Amino acid sequence: MTNFSQKVIAALAMSVLVLGLSGCEKKEGPMERAGKEVDKTVEKAGQQIEKAGDKIQDAAQDAKK
């Protein structure tokens, strides 16, 4: 085989591998969806706690005045 044909075969093989692997994408299962929902809930709770902390800090500063 010539050098050119070896490169063409290598390029085709790589293309097939890349296309084959991209088609194997896993679908999201129920546990993964539940985990994402838990993450969202924890994030929202953290934001609410942060807001409450800010309000307490503001109230404490107002009380000092």
Confidence grade of residue 2 (pLDDT, cut at 50, 70, 90): confident
Residues with Cβ within 8 Å of 61's Cβ and at least 6 positions away in sequence, in order, are none
Instruction: Give residue 12's pLDDT.
Output: 84
CA distance 23 to 35: 24
- Residue-wise pLDDT for 10-60, tens only, equals 888 888 877 776 666 677 889 989 999 999 999 999 999 999 988 888 888
Higher-scoring residue by pLDDT: 38, 2: 38
Residue 8 domain boundaries: 3-64
Q: Domains in the chain: how many in total?
A: 1
- CA diameter of the chain: 88
